[in-house]
Amino acid sequence: MTIRSSTKLSDAIHLLAYIRYFKGDDLSSEAIAKSIETSPVVVRRLMSQLSHAGLLITTRGKAQPELTIPEDQLTLLAIQQAVDPHPILTVDRKTNPKCPVGGHIQTILTDHYQEVEAAAKKQMAAITLADIMTDLHEANRKDELK
Amino acid sequence: MTIRSSTKLSDAIHLLAYIRYFKGDDLSSEAIAKSIETSPVVVRRLMSQLSHAGLLITTRGKAQPELTIPEDQLTLLAIQQAVDPHPILTVDRKTNPKCPVGGHIQTILTDHYQEVEAAAKKQMAAITLADIMTDLHEANRKDELK
DNA sequence: CTACTTGTAACTTTTAAAGTTACAAAAAGG
DNA sequence: CCTTTTTGTAACTTTAAAAGTTACAAGTAG
């Protein structure tokens, strides 16, 4: 059994950053897709997940998505939970229950993986879209000087 | 682009715990495979990775693998680095370089992902095979009482 | 009414993990 | 030595989830 670690979080942050960076401009799924270099459907799917999670307001037929909360309150953790809520580490679920090791390792690993997960989540909760926007504006400011 | 999050770390810890739990007994890849419920080749592949990383001593034709370091010095981080050295979060590498957002988001996300990675690694370095063995022995002690 | 746009379902493609087959090479016991 | 058992690996197939695609209903806006 395998679970893929996707680029959904990456693309979702990209999408949200785009919405904020180009607010007032063309915010259609088509325009955003060109920046992410993917298809508009992928963008709409991500936006759909974000709006279902209550992080974004979208309207059918209207290319004007809007954040529901301030940038500095929108954490990477919230975005990840919305678009890609998979645990970081995966426990093998197919071990021999009759073996003293195979019969207990799953529970034991689940507990310890939880600790790792918690550490990662704590850090993801400490990074917000505002941080990303600051970095973005700084990077573009430096570009201008060249 | 996608990267799979595998059960390799899980299986590698299982394997190492098995070796310690059943030391002196049958430690063939066949026996271990039965506990993990996989094929002996998968077990040998993991053992090969662990021995190349200097964590395990294996000998051709001899079913007696041994740890190179004490249980309490063998961390989950070291095991993970040996068998599945993938970052936790993946940055989308295919974004539009000509876009102010797409052109910078990769570098920015890489930096922030690094922080999350570091937090997870710190926690993985705090958990050792000795912890797993303690949990295992306790779980089996409780089983006996039933 | 027309031209866009979003929201989704259903489908295909892609790709890395996991599993399989096969066999060389070393070990161990006679 | 010879036989049996085992590890080490290469090469291949299978599997499953992400990513991409097609299609279209359902809104928006003039």
- Domain ranges for chain B, please list them: 8-144
A53 and chain B in contact, CB less than 8 A: no
Interatomic CA distance for residues A51 and A146, integer angstroms:
39
The pLDDT of B75-88, averaged and rounded, is 94
B42 and chain A in contact, CB less than 8 A: no
**Average per-residue pLDDT in chain B?**
94
What percent of chain A clears pLDDT 90, i.e. is strictly above it? 90
Residues found in chain B: 146
B26: pLDDT confidence band, cut at 50, 70 and 90? very high
Interatomic CA distance for residues A126 and A137, integer angstroms:
20
Residue A65 has what pLDDT?
A: 97
For the CA of A106 and the C1' of C5, the distance in angstroms is: 48
Residue B115 has what pLDDT?
A: 97
Q: Which CATH number fits domain A8-144: 3.20.20.80, 1.10.10.10, 1.20.120.530, 3.40.50.300?
A: 1.10.10.10
**Average per-residue pLDDT in chain A?**
94
User: Are residues A119 and B115, on separate chains, in Cβ contact within 8 Å?
Assistant: no
Residue A3 has what pLDDT?
A: 53
What percent of chain B clears pLDDT 70, i.e. is strictly above it? 97
What percent of chain B clears pLDDT 90, i.e. is strictly above it? 90
**Torsion angle in degrees (nearest 10) through CA of A107, A112, A118, A119:** -170
User: Closest partner residue to B104 among A100, A109, A139, by Cβ?
Assistant: A139
Residues 6+ apart with CB under 8 A from B65: B19, B27, B47, B51, B56, B57, B58
The phi, psi pair for B59, rounded to 5°, reads -135, 135
Kindly state the tokens that stand for A13.
């942050």
Mean pLDDT is lowest, of B10-14, B87-91, B130-134, for B87-91
Residue A1 has what pLDDT?
A: 46
Q: How many CB atoms lie within 10 A of CB B38?
A: 21
